[in-house]
Amino acid sequence: MNQLFIYGLLLEGLEAFCKEHRQPAFRAKQIWDWLYVKRVSSFDEMKNLPADLRAKLADHFIFQCLEKLETKGDPGETQKLLFKLGDNELIETVIIPAPRRGTNTVCLSSQVGCRFGCAFCASGQKGVIRNLTAGEIVGEVMEVANVLGGRPDNVVFMGIGEPFDNYDEVLKAVRILNHPDGLCIGARRITISTCGVVSGIQMLAEEGLQVELSVSLHAPDEEVRASLMPVNETWPLEELMDACRAYTEKTKRIITFEYTLIKDVNDSAAQARQLVKLLKKFNCRVNLIPLSPVEEFDGERPDSETMKTFFQTLENAGINTTLRDSKGSALKAACGQLRARRIG
């Protein structure tokens, strides 16, 4: 029998399983509770289920979908986890603590590799191998919950892969993570980050979900953006901004634009003014992130004076801007390197 990952089922899926096996509907809620509230790791531990149901569950589903191969970083600090999947493919998951707030954010992978090939990203250099299933994505969160001793507070889809290139499984995982009787990670604590896949932005606008959307811009004009992000050939900046406008109108939600500052590429005062022009009518936030050097990209971070000027230009124009230089952003930028090193 082809066994599925138990973490890939919505509560409705468990209810259907119980119905099919002539079990009352409340059993599905009990299983859900064991999975996501008590966080057990075997069906044997689900003590209030009849033995025959536990046996049927074990026949149909498996828990273990990720094997942890490597951890980089110490507890309490940013930690990168390298996982092996059932087919020996590798992914990375990052835990980013915010000690002052006492919270933890998990940065999830959504694909093995990525086909978008952004210039400064280790994950996109060798293309995409496959999508992760919702069960594998939720499995990342459950592994992190084991490391932390509890569920993470925030989830960001900013690891390996483009979440909108795996739309259905990512959205299914979001619904599992968000379920009020399970992990109950609030939708506003879940961020989907896209490199600019317009079709995904359009679909998300119709979902009625309160999740956060983050869009990587990295340049205020078509030419520079195309040189950094091949996605710009499919969805040019102009089309992307139209989709973002339509998204904010439809959902009344704020978009966060990510902008990696790269010396002599996209960091000039003129480019800051261009960015203001592009965003000034938007209800948005901007995250400026100094480039973290990666082997794959021959670029440098700007000096701090240049970054401050860029930041100030946006702030003076009334755009809510953050200039981040945290370990988290450094790790995020370098996400995919553990995997890249292993696959050579």
Interface residues with ligand SF4 (CB under 6 A) are: 114, 116-118, 121, 123-124, 160-162, 195
Q: Of the residues 15, 18, 65, 92, which is catalytic?
A: 92
Nearer to ligand SF4, 9 or 114 (CB): 114
Least distance (Å) between residue 153 CB and ligand SF4:
23
Least distance (Å) between residue 298 CB and ligand SF4:
16
Interacting residues of 327 by C-beta distance below 8 A, sequence separation 6+: 77, 78, 96
Nearer to ligand SF4, 155 or 195 (CB): 195
Bridge partners, residue 322, by sequence: 287
Whether 335 sits among the annotated catalytic residues: the reply is yes
Question: Which of these, 159, 110, 168, lies nearest to 328 by C-alpha position?
Answer: 159
Whether 284 sits among the annotated catalytic residues: the reply is no
Least distance (Å) between residue 151 CB and ligand SF4:
24
Least distance (Å) between residue 117 CB and ligand SF4:
5
Residue nearest to ligand SF4 (CB): 124
Nearer to ligand SF4, 61 or 116 (CB): 116
Nearer to ligand SF4, 136 or 162 (CB): 162
* Residues annotated catalytic, as ranges: 92, 335
